[in-house]
Amino acid sequence: MAGFNPADMMRLKKNFQRFQADHPRVVAFFQAIRGDVEEGTIVEIKVTTPEGKERITNMRLNPDDVETLNHLIH
What integer is the mean pLDDT of 38-66? 96
The pTM score is 0.68
Q: What is the mean pLDDT of residues 39-61?
A: 97
Average pLDDT over residues 5-26: 91
Distances (CA, A) of 12 to 6, 7, 15, 16, 23: 10, 9, 5, 6, 16
- At residue 2, the pLDDT reads 62
72 Cβ partners below 8 Å, 6+ apart? 30
Q: Write down the pLDDT at residue 72.
A: 76
Three-state SS at 62: coil
pLDDT of residue 34: 81
**In whole angstroms, what is the distance from residue 33 CA to residue 28 CA?**
9
Over residues 34-57, the mean pLDDT reads 95
Identify whether the C-beta of residue 63 lies closer than 8 Å to the C-beta of residue 37: no
